[in-house]
Amino acid sequence: WCPLERELTHAGSAAKQLLLSVEGLVDGVLHMFGQNRHR
C-alpha cells in the first residue's frame, strides 16, 4: 500500500463527486430550459 495509490484513490473519489455535481447542474439547467420551452 504505497502513498501514491492512496492519493490516486482520493483523486478518483473527488473526481467522481465533481462529476456527480456537474451532472446535477446540467440536469437542472436542462430542466429549466425544458420548462421555458413549454411556456
| 27 vs 39, more confident | 27
Instruction: Tell me the one-letter amino acid at 26.
Output: V
The reported pLDDT for the residue numbered 19 is 97
Residues 2-26: tens digit of each pLDDT: 788 888 899 999 999 999 999 999 9
Give the model's confidence band at 38: pLDDT under 50 very low, under 70 low, under 90 confident, else very high. Answer: low
Is this model's pTM higher than 0.75 or not? Answer: no
3-state helix, strand, coil in the chain (%, to 5): 90, 0, 10
The reported pLDDT for the residue numbered 12 is 92
Instruction: Tell me the one-letter amino acid at 35.
Output: Q
How many alpha carbons lie under 13 Å from residue 24 in its C-beta half-sphere?
6
Measured between alpha carbons, how far is 14 from 1 in angstroms, rounded to an integer?
20
Measured between alpha carbons, how far is 1 from 5 in angstroms, rounded to an integer?
7
The reported pLDDT for the residue numbered 4 is 85
